Amino acid sequence: MRAANEALIVIDIQNDFCPGGALAVAGGDEIVPGVNALMTEFPTVILTQDWHPADHSSFATTHGAAPFSTTEMPYGTQVLWPDHCIQGTEGAAFHKDLVTTGDLIIRKGFNPKIDSYSAFFENDHVTPTGLEGYLRTRGIDTLTMVGLATDFCVNFSAVDAAKLGFKVTVRADLCRAIDMDGSLTGALDGMKSAGVEVL
């Protein structure tokens, strides 16, 4: 068992990010057995769940635009996604084989006007989710991250955590990427320059 100051953060292993889902990540379901096994090593396990209202501003349908196009939001450029992870739907549910007995499930992306890739801040980079306070008040300063997608929610979560002063390791073998327009290479470089250890 790892020390009490360590936590595993399991990011967005939900049906819509797995094959057959609305925003399927290639091989997204392959990581489930390895993630479940890794959970047994950690005293604290936290899961995140992408959790959007039906008319979310990150959905292409909300703008009458093409999926995977981009738009300018007050907080910067936003990719417009296929409708995914709508609150309470089967697509938003965790993969059926994922162990979900972790200590905390943190939902994100519920603000209709702002997307939230990171488990720590919405995409405006200032609105907190509360996860930082949860970790600090429990004396946790060292994080391992796994899940979907490497280049979006894992990347943003890992970089924010490193900026906040947490020691962060990403197990890239237990992540899978969307990889649009070189986003995976950019994410791996960005994480490394932020001080994230990518294994």
Please report, as ranges, the residues that interact with ligand VGL according to CB under 6 A.
Answer: 12, 17, 50, 81, 117, 148-149, 152-153
Contact in structure between 128 and 161 (CB atoms under 8 Å): no
**Which parts of 1-40 interact with Zn ion (CB under 5 A)?**
none
Please list the residues that pair with 70 across neighbouring strands.
79
Quick one: 143 or 178, whose CB is closer to Zn ion?
178
Spot the catalytic one: 85, 108, 151, 175: 108
- Nearest distance from residue 148's CB to Zn ion, in Å? 10
Contact in structure between 59 and 73 (CB atoms under 8 Å): no
Dihedral pair phi/psi, residue 177, rounded to 5°:
-110, 155
Task: Tokens for 5, please give them.
Answer: 């100051």
Helix extents (H) in the chain = 32-39, 60-63, 131-137, 155-163, 183-193
- Nearest distance from residue 44's CB to ligand VGL, in Å? 21
12 binds, among ligand VGL, Zn ion, none (CB under 5 to 8 A by kind): ligand VGL
- Nearest distance from residue 51's CB to ligand VGL, in Å? 10
**Residues with a known catalytic role:** 12, 108, 153
